[in-house]
Amino acid sequence: MALRTAVPVNTLLNIELIGIPMKMKIILLGPPGSGKGTQGEKLSEEFGYVRLSTGDMLRDAVRKETDLGLKAKSYMDSGGLVPNDLIINLMKEKISSLEKGTGIIFDGFPRTTEQADALGSQIDIDLALNLDVDDDELVNRLTKRRSCPQCNAVYHLLYNPPKKERFCDKCGSVLYQRDDDTEETVRNRLKVYREKTFPLIDYYEKKGNLVTIEGIGEINEIFDEVKKAIR
């Protein structure tokens, strides 16, 4: 009689799930320009995660001149951080509005230990992914970045140009340069990052869920490393 190996249904299901990390809560850490938005967008597209970018939310609030936008604008223009209480309330509401078990990518949040404590008291984080890039490369990336005001896609004039000059590949809107992407403001954002956000690397390392990835190289190669880390 031929020997047949029966593979339990659960095992088959698990094999399928190996390639599709579901429902994780992932923080993208890293300095301004390290590629959090770029990689976060790719993760969201490939795995159906919800990407919560505090920077995109704030820029939208500034454009619509909401109460939050009016309060946040001067901090953003100078490259400083918007006060913790405003950001923590904003994110608490966003997270509560999502269905339980949704996979979430946090892009640009938390940025201070107060924000990290607040997030940790609301949900459990599975992974903090730190993208490591040196300052000269960051300045080069940010001063040549172009962004879409409609769908928030990001491009780089040299490394990741849109197919049609000045227009978003995804939604066709006219691209713009962010007000805080001038060299002077970028240098201040990097300074603020070192003072306020860099300590979060140690914070998540101590919690045992930090993975650092070299953020320099081809965007798709970095994305492969990101996927390895979350698998």
Positions marked catalytic: 36, 111, 145, 178, 189
Q: 222, 43 in Cβ contact below 8 A?
A: no
Distances (CA, A) of 67 to 71, 80, 176, 178: 6, 18, 24, 21
Q: How far is the CB of 131 from ligand AP5 (least distance, A)?
A: 7
- Local structure of residue 228 (DSSP, 8 states): H
Output 25 or 36, the one with its CB closest to ligand AP5.
36
- Local structure of residue 85 (DSSP, 8 states): H
How far apart are alpha carbons 14 and 115 in whole angstroms? 35
Q: How far is the CB of 231 from ligand AP5 (least distance, A)?
A: 20
Interface with ligand AP5 by CB under 6 A: which range of 5-13, 116-124, 156-164, 202-210? 156-164
* Residues 165-204, mask of contacts with ligand AP5 (x by CB under 6 A): ---------------x--------x---------------
Q: Is 130 in the site for ligand AP5 (CB under 6 A)?
A: no
How far apart are alpha carbons 177 and 214 in whole angstroms? 26
Amino acid at position 104, single letter: I
Closest residue by beta carbon to ligand AP5: 55
Output 17 or 77, the one with its CB closest to ligand AP5.
77
Q: Please give the structure tokens belonging to residue 178.
A: 């962010």
How far apart are alpha carbons 195 and 75 in whole angstroms? 16
What's the first-to-final CA gap in the chain, in angstroms?
40
Which 25-54 positions form the footprint of ligand AP5 (CB under 6 A)? 30, 32-38, 54
* From 156, 175, 210, 226, residue interacting with ligand AP5 (rule: CB under 6 A): 156
Binding site for ligand AP5 (CB under 6 A): 30, 32-38, 54-55, 58, 75-76, 79-82, 87, 108-109, 111, 115, 141-142, 145, 154-156, 159-160, 180, 189, 217, 219, 222
